[in-house]
Amino acid sequence: MPKVNFDIPLDFLQTKTPPMIGVDITSYSVKMVELSEMPKKDGFIVERYVIEPLPKDAISDGNINNLEAVSESLQRAWKRLGSRIKNVSLALPAAAVITKKILLPAGMREEDLEYQVESEANQYIPFALEEVNLDFQVIGPAPTDPDEVEVLLAASRKGNVEDRVAAAQGAGLRALVVDVEPYAAETAFEQIRAQLPDNATDKCVALIDIGASVMNVNVLRNGQSIYSRDQQVGGDQLTQQIQGMFGLSAEEAELGKRNGGLPDNYENDVLSPFRENVVMEIARAMQFFFTSTQYDEVDYIVLAGGCAVLPGLDDAVATRTQVSTMIANPFALMTLSSRIKPRQLQTDAPSLIVACGLAMRRFDPS
């Protein structure tokens, strides 16, 4: 699975990275997940997790607008988590990262590979290289030529990386890894894939992460991404519709959406039309996939993100697309510590997929 480190000091040669907490900073909250490993590496234990609200507009479009507010939320989240671990793994939104797969000669020395990647990067990055954090990951042999390797190139403007690292530092935490959100979700997806018949071998699985403003569609086959697309639909639209219909503030609308207590006509007049719009966007995304690739079928749809738990969404998607649909729970096969409330975790799990993938970086020797 491709992973990106963005020049955060870390010794990649050690057999295991230090203990780390996965931290997902989203538009409305900070999510932290701490995992440990079962004896004999026989699976994972969910030790702790927490979801801490963020002040309004502290984050917008994936950018940190209020560094102090984000640091304070991170600090509150870490205290609530109750962990002693201060090392964290963070992620950037896909929109903040330029990624490109390139082919390079196999067998190159590390320093030659770095030089070649830097040379290639000039073709794809619309900024001066001194303005970006650049990293790469050798994926493996090129599918069409055994004398070449496929390399994932990733670059982000330094401010994007530095802001997240600074927010962590302001909370007394130490960032060891900066990944990319879709790649972190792919890491966690391995736990979901194991729940599907025959590990979904040679099957196309659409992982659809419906966030606050963007729906990320990532189609995977045998654990590798074969198609990715963002569409502009998300939970913010539902919040705004609740505000307009019932004359509520943004905070009141968000609270009502999550905890209930809205007027009786909410289901018919607001939720049902929004749900139908999401279903339509997912169906459109599937059509884009079919027309853009060699594939004409998706075998499973997995819904993630905060909107995944909207009442009836999974059934509506399955009916519209005629594809077996499930709600993401990367923790379903993990052991839960006594601190975890299983029913609450099941509700929160779809929105924790990125944080889970980031927490799993602790066990990645690469």
Q: What percent of the chain has pLDDT over 70?
A: 95
Give pLDDT tens digits for 209-220.
Answer: 998 888 999 999
Strand pairing partners for 288? none
> Does position 4 have pLDDT exceeding 70, yes or no?
no
Choice between 159 and 344, residue whose per-residue pLDDT is larger = 344
User: Which of 6, 25, 24 has the alpha carbon at shortest distance from 69?
Assistant: 25
Query: Could you tell me the pLDDT band of residue 39, with boundaries at 50, 70 and 90?
Result: confident
Distance CA 181, CA 160 (A): 13
Average pLDDT over residues 284-302: 95
Average pLDDT over residues 338-360: 95
Residue 13: the pLDDT is 30
Pairing of strands 148-157, 21-25: unpaired
Residue 1: the pLDDT is 44
> Does position 3 have pLDDT exceeding 60, yes or no?
no
Choice between 279 and 152, residue whose per-residue pLDDT is larger = 279
Average pLDDT over residues 90-114: 85
Answer yes or no: are the C-beta atoms of 185 and 207 closer than 8 Å: yes
| pTM to 2 decimal places | 0.88
Query: Could you tell me the pLDDT band of residue 15, with boundaries at 50, 70 and 90?
Result: very low
119: left (phi over 0), alpha (psi -120 to 50) or beta: alpha
Q: Which domains does the chain have, with CATH numbers?
A: 21-93+158-188+334-363 (3.30.420.40), 197-327 (3.30.420.40)
DSSP state for residue 17 in the 8-state scheme: P
User: Which of 149, 69, 80 has the alpha carbon at shortest distance from 109?
Assistant: 149
Give pLDDT tens digits for 182-197.
Answer: 889 999 999 999 999 9
Residue 17: the pLDDT is 66
